[in-house]
Chain A
C-alpha cells in the first residue's frame, strides 16, 4: 500500500497541481461512506490513462466520478483509493448536424450537451434525472435513462462509439462515429451499465434525434394502476406520437400535484409534427372519455419527471429501488409494492416495464427488501436497490441473486480488470 503523501505526489506528477483535489474536497468523492485517499481530475485522456497505469501498478482501487448524481447505485465498494473525476473532460468533440451524430467527452453534463445540440434542432435522446449535473460518462456507466426511452430506447440503442481507458491504462476505442457499424465486438454494450467496473469511459458518440416540432403533455387520472396500465397499453397499439408515458401512483401523483388525493396519474408526453400531435391528443381524449378517465392538459411537462427526482433525492428516499417486469405484469407489481410498508412513491414506465419506487422511511428496511424481492420474483422481474440505507447496504447485494450468466460476467470482469482496479465490488455479485 502506498503512503498518502507519495500517492499525492505521484498523482500530481501526472495531472498537475490543479488536477489534484484538496483533502477537504475528498468528502465529495465519498461512495457509500467510503472516502478515498486522493482524488484527481485529469484534463486529458492521456492523463486518465496514466492515472490508471499508476493505480494498476500499485494495485490501487479507482472509482470514476462524473457529476456524482448516480454514485449511490452499486454495491458498497470493496476498496477505494483514488477518486477519478472526469469533469474537466467536458468538450463536444465533433458535431456535424447533417450527420445527426455527436461525439463528446465523458465529463460534459447532459444539459450542456443538449443545449449545444438544441441550437441545431437536435437532441441526444437521454433524459435521466439531474441533467444539469449528470455527465454523459456517468449516465452511460449507470445505464440511466429517462421517460423518453419509451420512444427512443435506452442508451444502448443510440450509443455508437466510445473511447475507454482500460484498467491497465490504455486508451481504447469501441464502435465508431457512424450510425451503423458491425466491425468487431460491440464493446459499447459492455461498458454501458458496467458501473465503472470494466473501464473508464472518456468519450462517447451518439446517434441523435431531431427535436420535435410540437410537444404537448396531457395527464389522465385513474383510480387504480391497473386501469392506468390498461389505458396505456391501448394507446400504444394505436401508434400515437407518444414520446413518453409515465404512471405515478396515488402517493407520487399527489406529492407533485398531478392528481387529486387517491388517484394515480398517467402523464402522456406527445411529440411530433403539429397535425400528428393534434390528432393524437384528440384520440387520447376520445379514449379517456370511453374509459371515464379524467384528462387534462398539463403546461409543466417536466412535473412528472420532477417526481422521479424527488423520488431519488437523499432527503426523501430512504430506500429507492428500480424494478422491472413485463408490461402486462406491471400493475400487479405496483399493487404488491404498495403493500410494503408504504405507501411508497412509485413512478413507472408502463410500456417499457420499468418502475422506480421509493420509501421515505421504513421500520425494518431489511424485512421490506425481502418482501420486495418476493414481489418481484413473483412476476419474473428484477429488482435493484438504487439507494439503500448504509446500515444495511454492506450486508446486501443490491442486485439480488446473481443472474444465470453470472459466471460469464465474472470472467469478463477478470479479463478486463484482473487486478480489481476499477470500482471493485460494485457490480452484481460484487464484481
Chain B
C-alpha cells in the first residue's frame, strides 16, 4: 500500500528516519483524543519551516491530502487524516526562537508545548495566558488551530487574543508571514482568520505570541451550594456585580463524587455544585473583589465558602477541578465529553435541560465546565459494551447541542468543529454563511489539500456520520470517548 515514490520524495527532504510508513508507525497516528480514526499513508516529522514547505509541495504533486498534527490531544478529531494522505507532525519543531521580555512577545515553533512557553518566560515575570487543561502536553500549533481556551480565558481571552503573527505554509508550499510583532498591521487580519481554522487553510510554522505580566496577587474561592440552580444563578450574579473574575468554574454533584474518590478534596457528599472562582490583580483589588464574590455567593445560598490566598492553598482548591476529567473515568468505563456554549443567563435553564435529557436517555452525566463563559462540558457516562449504548450517547449529544443552539449559543466553545460536529454547523449557519467561509478556503487555494473533511458539513446526512463512528468503534474496539 505505501506509495514508494511518495516515500522516496519525502525522505529526500526530511531524511529517511523522519518519514514513517510501516503499518505500526501509521497505526499510532490514526487517533487523537476522540473516537475518530483514520490511517495516514505516510507520517513526516519535519525539522523546520522550510521542510514543511517542501513536504507540502510534494504532497501537492502526489495529490495527497495533508493533515497537521501537534500532540494529538484534540477533542474534535482535527488531527485525524480522514482521507488518508500525509500527516505532518510538529514534535521536532519545538524551539522557542525568541523571547523579547521588554515587548512581551515570544516567537516559537508550532510544536512547542503550551506550558513550556510559560516556563521559559516565567523568569521575566511573564506568562502565556491561554491555559487549556491539556497545557502540559498540547502544542501551540494545535492551540492556534483550535483557538484553544481554558479556565482563565474568562478574563484574558482565548488563543486568538494572544497571537500577533504567524508564519504559514500555503497550499502552494510558500512560506508567508501574516501579521507581525507590532500592533495593527495594515491590510486584512489574516492572523485572526487562521487562528481557529483547524488546519484547513494552511500549516502554521511559527507563532508570535503575546505575553502577559504575572498578576501581583491571586485569590481563589470555592463556594459550595446545595443545588446546581443556586450555583448557576451565582455565576450571573457575580458578573452582574461588575466583577469579571480570572476564572469561574463549576462542578456538579457527580463530578464532585468522582473527584472526592480520586483526590479527597473534602467536598460534602450531599452538595449539589461547587463554584471555583479566581480573581487576580493588585492585592487591594483582589481582596475587594473576593469580598464581593463571597457576599454574592452567601446571599444566593452558598452553604460553605473556602478561600485561598497562598499558592499552596489555592492549589489545594484547584486540585479537585484539575483532576476532575481524569477522575470521571472512575464513575463509568467511558465518557463522552461535549462542548457547547450558552449565554450566561441561560445557564440554569440549559443545565436543567441537560439533566433532563440525560435522564430520559438513561445516562448519568457529570458537568465540569467554564461557567463564567457559559461554556458547558457535559460528560456523559456510559458503558460501551452495552449494545446500542454508543449510538444512544451520540444521539443524546445531539439533543444537548440542540439545547445550546436553541438557547442562543453555539456548538463549540473551544474544542473545534473538526469531523465530529461538522454536520451541526448547518444548525447555526445558513448555506450562505457557510459559502462565505468556503470562500476563505478557496482564497487560500486549500480546497481539499489541507485537512479535508473538517469543519464543513458533508453532503451526507447525519446518519452517515453516526454510522461511520460506529464503524470506527467496531474497528478499534470500545474505548475512548473522551
Interface on A for B, CB 8 Å cutoff? 96-101, 121-122, 143, 153-154, 156-157, 166, 170-174, 176-190, 192-194, 198, 209-211, 213, 233, 236-241, 272-276, 278-280, 322, 324-328, 352-354, 380-382, 384, 399-400, 402-409, 411-416, 427-429
B413 touches A241 (CB 8 A): no
Question: Does B182 sit at the interface, judged by CB under 8 A?
Answer: yes
Question: Does B408 sit at the interface, judged by CB under 8 A?
Answer: yes
Question: Does B375 sit at the interface, judged by CB under 8 A?
Answer: yes
A403 touches B186 (CB 8 A): yes
When distances are taken between beta carbons in the complex, the residues of chain B under 8 Å from A352 are: 183
Contact check: which of A186, A236, A399 meets B196 at CB < 8 Å? A186
The complex places the Cα of A121 from the Cα of B189 at a distance, in Å, of 32
Contact check: which of B216, B408, B429 meets A178 at CB < 8 Å? B408
When distances are taken between beta carbons in the complex, the residues of chain B under 8 Å from A213 are: 242
B102 touches A414 (CB 8 A): no
When distances are taken between beta carbons in the complex, the residues of chain B under 8 Å from A429 are: 187
The complex places the Cα of A408 from the Cα of B194 at a distance, in Å, of 12
Contact check: which of B153, B160, B428, B430 meets A172 at CB < 8 Å? B430
Question: Does B178 sit at the interface, judged by CB under 8 A?
Answer: yes
B102 touches A327 (CB 8 A): yes
A273 touches B289 (CB 8 A): yes
Min CB distance B55 to A, Å, is 20
Do A406 and B187 contact each other (CB < 8 Å), given the known contacts A153-B157, A273-B284? yes
Min CB distance A266 to B, Å, is 18
Do A173 and B433 contact each other (CB < 8 Å), given the known contacts A157-B161, A239-B216, A272-B285? yes
Contact check: which of B185, B429, B436 meets A166 at CB < 8 Å? B436
A405 touches B343 (CB 8 A): no
When distances are taken between beta carbons in the complex, the residues of chain B under 8 Å from A328 are: 100, 102-103
Contact check: which of A182, A380, A406 meets B182 at CB < 8 Å? A380
The complex places the Cα of A245 from the Cα of B394 at a distance, in Å, of 51
When distances are taken between beta carbons in the complex, the residues of chain B under 8 Å from A238 are: 216
Do A180 and B184 contact each other (CB < 8 Å), given the known contacts A190-B189, A404-B176? no
Contact check: which of B184, B281, B375, B434 meets A239 at CB < 8 Å? B281
Return the CB mask of B269-295 against A: 1 if under 8 Å, else 0.
000000000000111110111000000
- Nearest A-chain residue to B165, judged by Cβ: A405
The complex places the Cα of A187 from the Cα of B194 at a distance, in Å, of 10
The complex places the Cα of A279 from the Cα of B283 at a distance, in Å, of 9
The complex places the Cα of A176 from the Cα of B373 at a distance, in Å, of 13
The complex places the Cα of A166 from the Cα of B434 at a distance, in Å, of 12
Min CB distance A299 to B, Å, is 23
When distances are taken between beta carbons in the complex, the residues of chain A under 8 Å from B116 are: none
The complex places the Cα of A423 from the Cα of B241 at a distance, in Å, of 43
- List 30 A–B pairs whose Cβ atoms lie within 8 Å, in order of A's numbering: A98-B239, A98-B344, A99-B236, A101-B343, A172-B436, A174-B433, A178-B373, A178-B374, A180-B149, A180-B158, A181-B410, A182-B412, A182-B413, A183-B421, A186-B160, A210-B242, A211-B242, A233-B102, A237-B125, A239-B282, A276-B282, A279-B282, A279-B284, A328-B103, A353-B103, A382-B182, A402-B187, A404-B177, A408-B444, A412-B443
- Nearest B-chain residue to A403, judged by Cβ: B187
When distances are taken between beta carbons in the complex, the residues of chain A under 8 Å from B440 are: 185, 187, 190, 412, 415
Min CB distance A350 to B, Å, is 11
Contact check: which of B176, B215, B240, B370 meets A98 at CB < 8 Å? B240
Question: Does B471 sit at the interface, judged by CB under 8 A?
Answer: no
- Nearest B-chain residue to A273, judged by Cβ: B288
Min CB distance A242 to B, Å, is 11
The complex places the Cα of A332 from the Cα of B256 at a distance, in Å, of 56
B153 touches A173 (CB 8 A): no
B343 touches A177 (CB 8 A): yes
Most chain B beta carbons < 10 A, residue from A353, A354, A405: A405
When distances are taken between beta carbons in the complex, the residues of chain B under 8 Å from A276 are: 281-282, 284-285, 288
Do A209 and B282 contact each other (CB < 8 Å), given the known contacts A172-B430, A177-B408, A428-B187? no
Question: Does B455 sit at the interface, judged by CB under 8 A?
Answer: yes
Do A180 and B183 contact each other (CB < 8 Å), given the known contacts A186-B196, A189-B192? no
Residues facing A in B110-142 (CB within 8 A) are 125
Most chain B beta carbons < 10 A, residue from A179, A184, A188: A184
Min CB distance B424 to A, Å, is 8
Contact check: which of A96, A176, A193, A198 meets B428 at CB < 8 Å? A176
The complex places the Cα of A273 from the Cα of B292 at a distance, in Å, of 11
Contact check: which of B125, B190, B445 meets A409 at CB < 8 Å? B190
Q: How many A-B residue contacts, CB cutoff 8 Å?
A: 260
When distances are taken between beta carbons in the complex, the residues of chain A under 8 Å from B413 are: 178, 180-182
Taking A176-B409, A399-B186, A414-B443 as given, write out 13 further A-B residue pairs in contact, using a Cβ cutoff of 8 Å, ordered by the A residue number: A99-B343, A100-B344, A166-B432, A172-B433, A173-B433, A178-B342, A183-B411, A183-B428, A185-B437, A210-B243, A322-B184, A326-B182, A411-B445
- Nearest A-chain residue to B374, judged by Cβ: A178
Min CB distance B276 to A, Å, is 18
A326 touches B428 (CB 8 A): no
- Nearest A-chain residue to B288, judged by Cβ: A273
When distances are taken between beta carbons in the complex, the residues of chain B under 8 Å from A97 are: 240
Question: Does B472 sit at the interface, judged by CB under 8 A?
Answer: no
Residues facing A in B442-459 (CB within 8 A) are 442-445, 455
Question: Does B231 sit at the interface, judged by CB under 8 A?
Answer: no
A411 touches B443 (CB 8 A): yes
Most chain B beta carbons < 10 A, residue from A143, A180, A211, A275: A180
B161 touches A403 (CB 8 A): no
B282 touches A183 (CB 8 A): no
When distances are taken between beta carbons in the complex, the residues of chain B under 8 Å from A322 are: 184
When distances are taken between beta carbons in the complex, the residues of chain B under 8 Å from A409 are: 187-188, 190
The complex places the Cα of A409 from the Cα of B146 at a distance, in Å, of 22
B193 touches A324 (CB 8 A): no
The complex places the Cα of A237 from the Cα of B124 at a distance, in Å, of 10
- Nearest A-chain residue to B126, judged by Cβ: A237
Question: Does B52 sit at the interface, judged by CB under 8 A?
Answer: no
- Nearest A-chain residue to B157, judged by Cβ: A157
- Nearest B-chain residue to A322, judged by Cβ: B184
The complex places the Cα of A414 from the Cα of B445 at a distance, in Å, of 12
A382 touches B185 (CB 8 A): yes
Min CB distance B310 to A, Å, is 18
When distances are taken between beta carbons in the complex, the residues of chain B under 8 Å from A174 are: 433, 436
Question: Does B13 sit at the interface, judged by CB under 8 A?
Answer: no
The complex places the Cα of A189 from the Cα of B373 at a distance, in Å, of 20
When distances are taken between beta carbons in the complex, the residues of chain B under 8 Å from A184 are: 417, 425, 429, 433-434, 437, 455
Min CB distance B345 to A, Å, is 4
B193 touches A187 (CB 8 A): yes
- Nearest B-chain residue to A411, judged by Cβ: B443
When distances are taken between beta carbons in the complex, the residues of chain B under 8 Å from A157 are: 157, 161
When distances are taken between beta carbons in the complex, the residues of chain A under 8 Å from B343 are: 96, 99, 101, 177-178
The complex places the Cα of A198 from the Cα of B161 at a distance, in Å, of 22
When distances are taken between beta carbons in the complex, the residues of chain A under 8 Å from B443 are: 408, 411-412, 414-416
The complex places the Cα of A172 from the Cα of B100 at a distance, in Å, of 40
When distances are taken between beta carbons in the complex, the residues of chain A under 8 Å from B331 are: none
Question: Does B402 sit at the interface, judged by CB under 8 A?
Answer: no
The complex places the Cα of A328 from the Cα of B102 at a distance, in Å, of 7
Do A280 and B282 contact each other (CB < 8 Å), given the known contacts A172-B430, A213-B242, A404-B177? yes
When distances are taken between beta carbons in the complex, the residues of chain A under 8 Å from B411 are: 183
When distances are taken between beta carbons in the complex, the residues of chain A under 8 Å from B240 are: 97-98
Min CB distance B145 to A, Å, is 10
The complex places the Cα of A356 from the Cα of B282 at a distance, in Å, of 31
Question: Does B244 sit at the interface, judged by CB under 8 A?
Answer: yes
Question: Does B73 sit at the interface, judged by CB under 8 A?
Answer: no
List 10 tightest A-B contacts by C-beta distance, closest first.
Answer: A189-B192, A210-B242, A276-B285, A275-B284, A180-B413, A415-B439, A98-B236, A428-B187, A98-B345, A399-B186
When distances are taken between beta carbons in the complex, the residues of chain B under 8 Å from A278 are: 284
Contact check: which of B100, B195, B242, B281 meets A186 at CB < 8 Å? B195
Question: Does B400 sit at the interface, judged by CB under 8 A?
Answer: no
